[in-house]
């Protein structure tokens, strides 16, 4: 189903000339709510019962071209797998010509007030099963091995305050790529590199491929630590292992591949000066 239809990219969704990577998460969340309502198991009912609706468990995404201001986007969302308590959706973000901008796969589990996975109501599970499509696209980062032991690591911390939380009073998952981006910019600044000076016709360090596994929610009024290990660097990709922790728990683990894009959103190689901070 078309969960977002023929919507123009707005100024507030941009970081520079292109959409911010976290907006892709936001479009997925909007789409999930549309599907949930269409299948009779809406977010509102789950929240009213003190549940956490459709919590992401594993997210895999590939950006083919970044949307820019004025681009018209449509998001098509379909279920591709369903279990006792989980459902996996395929999200395709398309431009006005029907060309893919991004592809994502996301597995969701609804969490009960006690913290366990809540089984899907049988009528909902059956409806998802009947609607599943036979699609198995490969999205997300590659499975290449680490690039060496002399690549840098860095860490930052973010206090989780009310602007970062959503209806279940947990950290809103759209914010995590922002936190990772802040950590990256702080690292670059420490290496004497300014993102503002590098960005122009080329837009470096944009999310390109990622796979994040969500292991536990981030609570309100906790301190979130973002630990980052650079594991490979070349002209096409900066590949980083991310770990998000709070209150002694691991909340998210994942692999993120950052790329470089031109002002139309098309992927292009990094300049040498853009990858130098990761090799010094």
What's residue 146's pLDDT?
56
What average pLDDT does the segment 4-33 reach? 96
Instruction: Say if residues 255 and 139 touch (Cβ distance below 8 Å).
Output: no
Instruction: Say if residues 109 and 88 touch (Cβ distance below 8 Å).
Output: no
What's residue 28's pLDDT?
96
pTM (2 d.p.): 0.94
Rounded (10°) angle between helices 175-190 and 21-38: 170
Minimum mean pLDDT range among 76-85, 145-154, 215-224, 242-251: 145-154
Above pLDDT 70, what percent of the chain? 97
The predicted-structure confidence for 92-121, as pLDDT tens digits, reads as follows 999 999 999 999 999 999 998 888 899 999
């Amino acid at each position: 189903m078309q969960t977002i239809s023929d919507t123009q990219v707005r100024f507030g969704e941009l970081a520079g000339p292109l959409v911010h990577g976290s907006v892709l998460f936001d479009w997925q969340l909007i789409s999930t709510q549309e599907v949930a309502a269409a299948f009779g198991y809406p977010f509102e009912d789950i929240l009213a019962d003190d549940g956490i609706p459709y919590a992401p468990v594993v997210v895999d995404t590939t950006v083919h071209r970044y949307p820019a201001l004025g681009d018209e986007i449509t998001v098509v969302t379909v279920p591709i797998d369903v279990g006792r308590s989980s459902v996996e959706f395929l999200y395709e973000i398309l431009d006005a010509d029907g060309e893919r901008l991004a592809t994502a796969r996301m597995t969701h589990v609804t969490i009960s007030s006690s913290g366990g996975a809540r089984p899907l109501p049988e009528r909902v599970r059956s409806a998802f099963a009947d609607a599943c499509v036979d699609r198995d696209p490969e999205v997300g980062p590659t499975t290449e091995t680490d690039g060496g032991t002399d690549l840098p690591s860095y860490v930052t911390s973010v206090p989780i305050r009310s602007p970062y939380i959503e209806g279940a009073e947990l950290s809103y998952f759209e914010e995590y790529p922002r936190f990772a981006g802040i950590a990256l910019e702080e690292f670059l600044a420490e290496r004497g590199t300014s993102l503002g000076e590098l960005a122009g016709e080329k837009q470096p360090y944009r999310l390109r491929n990622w796979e994040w596994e969500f292991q536990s929610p981030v609570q309100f009024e906790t301190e979130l630590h973002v630990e980052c290990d650079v594991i490979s660097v070349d002209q096409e990709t900066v590949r980083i292992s991310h770990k998000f922790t709070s209150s002694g728990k691991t909340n998210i683990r994942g692999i993120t591949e950052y790329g470089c894009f031109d002002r139309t959103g098309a992927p292009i190689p990094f300049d040498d000066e853009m990858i130098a901070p990761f090799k010094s």
